[in-house]
Structure 1
Amino acid sequence: MLEREMVDHFRIYPDEIVFIGDDQLVYANAETYLLRTIDDRTHQQLSEKISMAQWLTHQGETDIAIYMKPADKRNTLFIDGDDKVVFHIPQQQMHDGSKKMSLGKRLARFHERGYSYSPKDKKVTAFLSSWKERWEKRLDQLEHWYVKISQNPEKTAFDEQFCLTFPYFIGISENAIQMMADLAMNNTANQMTPAKTICHERFQEHSWLTLEEEMESRVKVPTDFTYDHYARDLAEYIRTVWLEHDGNSRGEEMIDTFLNHYESEHPLMLMDQQYLFARLLFPAHYYEKIEQYYQTGHQGKKALLQTDCLRLFHFSADYERLLTFICRRYPLLITGNVIPQWIRKGDFSWQSG
C-alpha cells in the first residue's frame, strides 16, 4: 500500500522502508523521505505548520524537512487507516567537530529566525497560544473524571490512589492557571507583549532527527512546529530531562548547561522567566499519563501507564525540587506577587520531612 501510494503520487520507487519510532523512512534513489502519521488537530493546522517551515528556510534555517504535496487535492496520504504526511529529508552536511554548536545555542538561533513570523491563520494562533484556557479545559475534564471515579463503589486500588492524590495536583494546577492570569494582567498594565516565535509542540533532546549515527540531531520536521512563547520549548526540555533523570545531579547539570548556552544567545527577561516557571508549575506530565490511562482500552498499555502514574503520585516532591532549582537560578522570580505564596515562602512538601 505504501509503495503504491509513493509511486502513484510522487513517482518514487522505494528501495527500503525503515521504521524509526512511529515514523517511517523511505529510501529511494539515494534520497530519503519521511512519513509521519498525524491526528485531526495537526491536520487542521498543517497549512500553518508548512508556512512556518518555509519561513524558517527563507530566514536561513537549515535541515528543515520539505513537505511534499500528493498529486491529488489532499494534503496527506491515507494509508492503512491513517493520514500520513510525506517529507523529503535534505542531505545533512558533515559539520566540523571543532565547530559543533550546543543544542541550547542552536535552539536560541532557531527561535531568533521565527520572531518575525506572522501567522496566517489567526484562529490557529489564538488556539496555540492560550495556555491558561487550555489548562482550564484539561483541569475541568480531569475534575469530571475524579468526581465520577470517586463516586464509584467498585474503585480499583489505582482509582483509590488517583482520588487520594488528585487534590494535590489540582492545587498546583490552579496555582499555574492563576499565575498566567496575573501575568496577563501585569503585561496589559505594563504594555508588554510576550515574545512569541516558531517553536515546537514539545521540544526534547531528540526532537530534531538524525539519520547518521555520527551526526548531530538536526533535521526539523514541520509537524512539530507551533507558534507560541519561546519559554514553551525551554520548559518542555527541562521537564523531560528532570523526569528522565529523577531530578538527580546529572539532570540539574544538563538543564543548567542547556540554559547557559541558550542564554549566551538570548538572555531571559523576568517576564520570560515567569512564563517558564508557570509552564513548569502546571503538571502537564501528570495530565498526560492520567488521560492516557483512563482513555486506553489496551490492558498491556494500561499496566505500563499505571506504573508511570504511581511513580508520579509517590514522587511528586521530587518534581517540587525542580521548582526550587529554577527559583535558585532565577532569584528575581520570588520577588513580587506573581509566584504562588507557598513557593515564595519555600513551603515545599519535600522539606516538611
Structure 2
Amino acid sequence: MMQRMVYDYYGLYVEEQFQVGRYTGFATKDANYLFVPESQENTSLWEEKLQWAQVMRQGDQTVALFIPSIQKNRSITLDGEKQLLFQLYVEKTRDDGTEEYNGSELATFHNQGMVMFPPVSSELFVQRWSEWWEKRLEQLENWYQSVKTKPAFSLMDRWFIKTFPYYLGMTENAIQCLKAIPVHERTEEAGCISHFCYTPAAWVTIAPNTRPIKLPSDWLYDHPTRDIAEWMRYAMEQGYSHTQIENFVQSYERHNQVTSFGWDLIIGRLLFPYYYLEQMEQTYLRENIGTMEETLYHLEQSWEKEGTRLEQIASLKEIFPYHFQKLPDWLLGRGVSFL
C-alpha cells in the first residue's frame, strides 16, 4: 500500500522499505527517504522549521530535505497519521560514533543555527526557562490538589501524592538557580536552533559509518546549552564515565565556547526534574491511561535512582571544578532527604 501511495503522491518508485527507530523509510534507485509524523503542531511551527532547514542545508547536507507532494501539500496521511517526507543525504564518515565526534558535530550545528538569529539579552533565556518551568509546576500543583480530593485513588494517584512535594522542591531549586545568576553575567548571548530534548537518538543514522541525519521535527529556538544539558542528563542516566562526558564537552568547546552564563544554565537545567514533569503531564493532561502501568514502573525506577542522580550531578564538579562552583550547598553536602 505504501508503494502505491508514494507513487501517487510523489511520483517515486519504492525499491525497498525500511524502519529507522520510529520512522518509516524507503529507498528508490537514486535516494533514501524518511516519513516524519506531523504530530499536533500547528502550520506556522512547521513552516518555520522547514525554513530553518532550508537555510541549514546550505552548510550541512545531512539536514534532511523536505519533499512536498505532487499536489504541493506539506503532508499526506499514511497509516492513519499525517506525515511529511524528507530526502536523506547519506555521507560516509570514518568516525565510530565517539563522544568527541558527537560534541564537535553538535557545536557545528549550533554555530550554523546562530547565523539566523541576532544576539539577545541573556535575560531572555532566564525568563523563558524559569517562566515555563513555573507554569508547568503550577499546573502540576493544581492537579495535585485535585487528585487529593478524589474519593478513590489509583496506584498512579497514590504515587503522585507521595512524590510531588519532593519534586516541587526540586523544581523550585532549579528555578532559583536560574534567578540567582549574577547580573554581571547577563550580557548578550547568541541563541540558535536547538532540540526539544537532545540525546544521541535526536539524529537518525540509517547505515553504519555514516553521518547522522538531522530532522527538523523537534527543532526550536533556544540557548545552545539546552542541548548540552540534556545530553549530559542522558549520559548520566546511561552510566557514561566522567571521561566520556569530559570528551564530549571538550570537543564541543573546541568549536563553540560555553560562557559562564551558559554553565549556570546547565546547572539549573540538570537540577530540573524533566522526566518526572513530562511523564506526569502525559498522565494527567493527556489522560494517557493506556500506558499508565508502564509509566508508573519507569517513574518508580527513576525515584529509586534519584539519590544516584543527585550524586552524579554533584560529581560533575570533579570534571569541571571551575564551571560547577555554583552547585547548591545542599547538593554538595548530599543533605537530601527522601520520602
User: TM-score band (shorter)?
Assistant: 0.7 to 0.9
- What residue number does 1:342 align with? 330
- What residue number does 1:198 align with? 193
Alpha-carbon shift at residue 179 of structure 1 (Å): 2.8
The one-letter code sitting in structure 2 at the alignment partner of 1:48 is E
After superposition, residues 1-353 of structure 1 pair within 5 angstroms as 2-41=2-41, 43-58=43-58, 60-90=59-89, 92-96=90-94, 102-118=101-117, 130-183=128-181, 186=182, 192-212=187-207, 214-245=208-239, 250-294=240-284, 295-298=287-290, 301-332=291-322, 340=328, 342-343=330-331, 346-349=333-336
Question: CA offsets per residue over residues 261-306 of structure 1, 9 Å max, x none?
Answer: 21233232210100111111111111122223442121xx222111
Give percent identity, aligned residues only: 26
Alpha-carbon shift at residue 73 of structure 1 (Å): 4.8
Alpha-carbon shift at residue 113 of structure 1 (Å): 1.5
Mark the CA change 1:256 to 1:334 in structure 2 (over 3 Å): closer, same or farther: closer
More displaced stretch, 168-177 vs 251-260? 251-260
Question: Is residue 208–residue 220 contact of structure 1 (8 Å, CA) maintained in 2?
Answer: yes
Question: Is residue 34–residue 85 contact of structure 2 (8 Å, CA) maintained in 1?
Answer: yes
Q: CA RMSD in A?
A: 2.8
Question: Is residue 293–residue 306 contact of structure 1 (8 Å, CA) maintained in 2?
Answer: no
Mark the CA change 1:99 to 1:162 in structure 2 (over 3 Å): closer, same or farther: closer
Matched length: 329
Alpha-carbon shift at residue 83 of structure 1 (Å): 1.6
Mark the CA change 1:10 to 1:279 in structure 2 (over 3 Å): closer, same or farther: same
The one-letter code sitting in structure 2 at the alignment partner of 1:348 is G
The one-letter code sitting in structure 1 at the alignment partner of 2:288 is T
The one-letter code sitting in structure 2 at the alignment partner of 1:296 is N
Alpha-carbon shift at residue 51 of structure 1 (Å): 1.8
CA distance in 1, matches of 2:280, 2:246: 29
Alpha-carbon shift at residue 191 of structure 1 (Å): 5.8
Question: Is residue 292–residue 305 contact of structure 1 (8 Å, CA) maintained in 2?
Answer: no
Question: CA offsets per residue over residues 172-194 of structure 1, 9 Å max, x none?
Answer: 111222333344xx45x666123
CA distance in 1, matches of 2:293, 2:241: 27
**SS at 2:276 equivalent:** helix
Mark the CA change 1:68 to 1:276 in structure 2 (over 3 Å): closer, same or farther: same
Question: Is residue 42–residue 223 contact of structure 1 (8 Å, CA) maintained in 2?
Answer: no
The one-letter code sitting in structure 2 at the alignment partner of 1:161 is W
Q: Give unmatched runs, 5+ long, in structure 2.
A: 119-123
The one-letter code sitting in structure 1 at the alignment partner of 2:335 is F
Question: Is residue 38–residue 75 contact of structure 2 (8 Å, CA) maintained in 1?
Answer: no
CA distance in 1, matches of 2:168, 2:95: 47
Question: Is residue 104–residue 258 contact of structure 1 (8 Å, CA) maintained in 2?
Answer: yes
CA distance in 1, matches of 2:95, 2:328: 45
Mark the CA change 1:180 to 1:141 in structure 2 (over 3 Å): closer, same or farther: same
**SS at 2:202 equivalent:** coil
Question: Is residue 208–residue 217 contact of structure 1 (8 Å, CA) maintained in 2?
Answer: no
Question: Is residue 273–residue 330 contact of structure 1 (8 Å, CA) maintained in 2?
Answer: no
- What residue number does 2:121 align with? none
CA distance in 2, matches of 1:315, 1:206: 22
Query: TM-score when scaled to structure 1?
Result: 0.83
CA distance in 2, matches of 1:103, 1:252: 16
CA distance in 2, matches of 1:26, 1:220: 17
Alpha-carbon shift at residue 222 of structure 1 (Å): 1.7
Alpha-carbon shift at residue 18 of structure 1 (Å): 2.1
Alpha-carbon shift at residue 52 of structure 1 (Å): 1.7
Q: Give unmatched runs, 5+ long, in structure 1.
A: 120-125
Mark the CA change 1:163 to 1:207 in structure 2 (over 3 Å): closer, same or farther: same
Mark the CA change 1:99 to 1:335 in structure 2 (over 3 Å): closer, same or farther: closer
More displaced stretch, 64-73 vs 275-284? 64-73
Question: CA offsets per residue over residues 83-103 of structure 1, 9 Å max, x none?
Answer: 21110011x232345999611
The one-letter code sitting in structure 2 at the alignment partner of 1:206 is A
Alpha-carbon shift at residue 217 of structure 1 (Å): 4.5
- What residue number does 1:122 align with? none
